[in-house]
Amino acid sequence: MNITNIFENNKKWIGERLAGDSEYFKNLSKGQNPQILYIGCSDSRVSSEELMGVEPGEVFVHRNIANMVPNTDLNVMSVINFAVSHLKVNHVVVCGHYYCGGVKAAMQSADLGILNPWLRNIRDVYRLHRKELDLIECEDDKYNRLIELNVQEQCVNVIKTSDVQKAIRERQLTVHGWVWDIQTGKLIDLKIDFDKILKNIMEIYRIS
């Protein structure tokens, strides 16, 4: 990949878009009304919009290492606030992917500097689900199950925010946990039963 090619690609893309609709960019500039907030991993192989088949304007996107939603991260918290309370999205998706390097790094003991506190959130997920994970003998299966459980816990972090709790009450906003299978290209809905998970913890996290 030559970086100067990117500008050539861009010119070609503009031509293709305008051939389909001469007002395309003029209309895009008028504003956005996405229905979905997608929180995914920064991994270069996980091309979020492409794998979902969505067009510009349809999905508000936030990506970071290992699709995390740390409660004190101003970046992801601002994204959730803006998407939910201002853009009024009706769906929040946390999407992980199998063979995530961030989750793999969290399972190892190497000192990774500034990444340590970020990845420690994943170790907390491991600790919360240790009983289940320790029963899995195959390392790959254990690794991929931790990826799914990390998605689940980040969804719970989404639900802990007051913006999301308010939107669930007022307009039935839905939170979804997905995982992308990098070996097949398939997007999988983990169908997380939030009612069951939240039943015992909402008395702690409820914000009215």
Q: Which residues are catalytic?
A: 41, 43, 45, 97, 100
CB 188 to Co ion: min, Å: 15
φ, ψ dihedrals at 178, nearest 5°: -125, 160
Q: Which stretch binds Co ion (CB under 5 A): 39-47, 148-156, 170-178, 182-190?
A: 39-47
Does an H or E element contain 92, and which?
Answer: strand 91-97
Q: Which is nearer to Co ion, 41 or 52 (CB)?
A: 41
CB 102 to Co ion: min, Å: 5
- Contact status: 100 vs Co ion (CB under 5 A): yes
Strand, helix or coil at 99?
coil
Helix residue ranges per DSSP H, the chain:
5-20, 24-28, 48-52, 74-81, 101-106, 115-128, 130-134, 139-160, 162-171, 194-199, 202-205
- Contact status: 148 vs Co ion (CB under 5 A): no
Question: Among 37, 43, 149, 159, which residue sits at the site for Co ion (rule: CB under 5 A)?
Answer: 43
Q: Which stretch binds Co ion (CB under 5 A): 9-17, 36-44, 82-90, 105-113?
A: 36-44
